[in-house]
Amino acid sequence: MSLRNPPKLARSELKTYALKLLGGKALSVAQLKERLRRRAAHVADVETVAADLREYGFLNDRRFAEGFAASRRDTRGFGRQRVLSDLVKNKVASGVARKAVDEAFAGVDEPAMIADFLARKFRGQDLPALLKNPNKLASVYRRLRGAGFSTGNSIRALKKYSSEADQLESMEDPDSGAEPA
DSSP output for 101-128: HHHHTTT--HHHHHHHHHHHHTTTS-HH
Shared domain check, 167 and 114: yes
Pair (121, 162) in one structural domain: yes
Task: Please check whether residue 1 lies inside any domain of the structure.
Answer: no
- Compute the distance between CA of residue 29 and CA of residue 8 in angstroms, rounded to an integer: 20
Which of 41, 21, 150, 28 lies closest to 100 in space, CA to CA? 28
Is 5 inside any structural domain? no
Cα angle 176, 180, 181; round to 5: 130
In-domain check, residue 177 = no
Same domain, residue pair 114 and 164: yes
- Considering the domain boundaries, does residue 69 fall inside one? yes
Please check whether residue 73 lies inside any domain of the structure.
yes
* Domain count within the chain: 3
Q: Are 142 and 172 in contact (CB under 8 A)?
A: no
Would 6 be classed as within a structural domain?
A: no
Per-residue pLDDT at 6: 82
**pLDDT tens over the chain, length 181 residues:** 556 778 899 999 999 999 999 999 999 999 999 999 999 999 999 999 999 999 999 999 999 999 999 999 999 999 999 999 999 999 999 999 999 999 999 999 999 999 999 999 999 999 999 999 999 999 999 999 999 999 999 999 999 988 887 777 766 655 444 443 3
22 and 48 share one domain: yes
Domain span including residue 73? 61-104
Residue 178 in any domain: the answer is no
Answer yes or no: is 176 within a domain.
no
Do 95 and 114 belong to one domain?
Answer: no
pLDDT score of 162: 86
**16 and 48 fall within a common domain:** yes
Cβ atoms of 73 and 108 within 8 Å: the answer is yes
Question: Model-level pTM greater than 0.85?
Answer: no
When computed from its CA atoms, the radius of gyration of the chain, rounded to whole angstroms, is 21
What is the model's pLDDT at position 15?
Answer: 96
